[in-house]
Chains A and B, each alone.
Chain A
Amino acid sequence: MASRMAAISRASRIKTKLETALQAAVLEVEDVSHQHAGHAAVREMEGGAQETHFNVRIVSAKFHGQNLVKRHRMVYELLSDELNSGLHALSITAKTPSEAAVDTQP
């Protein structure tokens, strides 16, 4: 299991998991672990700061009617394996298609 997990990047696993479950219209996963390389909690980890911090931007109709806490929980629950295996922090933007449309208007 561990070796298979290591073969595929965490970013692509995150992407696959969210894509499948949320049928996201927009899904961007950005690995920003390098920005946190000096982070106390990361320094203590074996192998240093790798695949620990991600920015995730999701637009999905499944967020409709859910408040922000519920949306973030949905994402966290889908990624619980990752959180238990070294994923340290996610910065999440979770919008419905109609909210995302409002944002892009001038």
Chain B
Amino acid sequence: MAALNLSSPTHTPSSLRVLSNFSHSRNAPALSFYSLPNPVVHFRSTSLNHRSPAKHRRFGLVVSALKKLSETESVTVSSDSDGKFPSDAGVYAIYDSSGDLQFVGITRNLASSVIAHKNSLPELCCSVKVAVVEDPDKTALTEAWKTWLQEHISATGKVPPGNESGNSTWVKRAPRKKSDLRLTPGRHVQLTVPLDDLIDRLVKENKVVAFIKGSRSAPMCGFSQRVVSILETQGVDYESVDVLDEEYNNGLRETLKRYSNWPTFPQIFVNGELVGGCDILTSMYEKGELADLFK
């Protein structure tokens, strides 16, 4: 079990501030680097991330550890790049099929951003270079982004098209995070249908359902958090149900345990079948079996 951190979902104001500071100080056109919504959760999990370098704290020397863009290995992106990229925060550069740099961005989760770009722009996103940023606070990430962008500009005299001011090719409006599903209208409303039937209908009518502790935007337990993070990395459209919600899902925990014959949470259902809990989902993720499962 890895130590899990919650990162604040409210990045926007500070990222805007950093962006405008940078524009002023550089006297340059505003360049965009936040293309995708920051995943709300990210975790350092040694089991999910074989490529992550050893974490050394280098106070004050964070960016000097960044590899040069030209010296970073380019990796081909395919639609099922499960486990190929680290889930850490860092900087990434996207190249098209002719090897031209299209966009440099930063993210809280390299794997999920790269896969999201590949899914939305498959023709333009052929290979990427990624670098994990140690102690990834806003400043360190922005510095890394500047370093790579400046290296490219001084080598070619050009800004990558996706980073030009006003270019929104790689900028996707944050899709509104889905809300958790509620099984009942509230605990004081008498149910006309047994809870078992509501569960049964829910898991059969939705392709992927995760029963988690806490909400999808703020899971309350490390295992639930890992499940949410894997599903988000996978880019799968899923429904979530908070089993701790005593108001709208009253009695769900005990009923679900019986329904699924599974005594712990989280629980993940696909096409009405129980896939398992966090261990099984993690194991399938590491073996690259999830793309098939979610087809």
Contact = CB atoms under 8 A, between A and B. Distances in A.
Given A32-B1, A80-B263, A89-B264, A72 B220 contact: no
Contacts of A73: 261-262
- The B interface, classified by DSSP as helix, strand, loop or mixed, is loop
B162 interface: no
Contacts of B223: 89
A101 interface: no
Interface residues on B, range: 20 to 34
A83 interface: yes
B62 interface: no
Contacts of B222: 36
A39 B221 contact: yes
Contact of A35 (B1, B261, B274): B1
A61 interface: no
Interface in B195-233: 213, 220-223
Contact of A72 (B3, B213, B244, B280): B280
B140 interface: no
B1 A68 contact: no
Contact of A41 (B213, B262, B274): B213
Contacts of A53: 1
Contacts of B263: 76, 80, 83
A93 B3 CA distance: 19
Interface of B: 1, 3, 213, 220-223, 244, 261-264, 274-280, 283
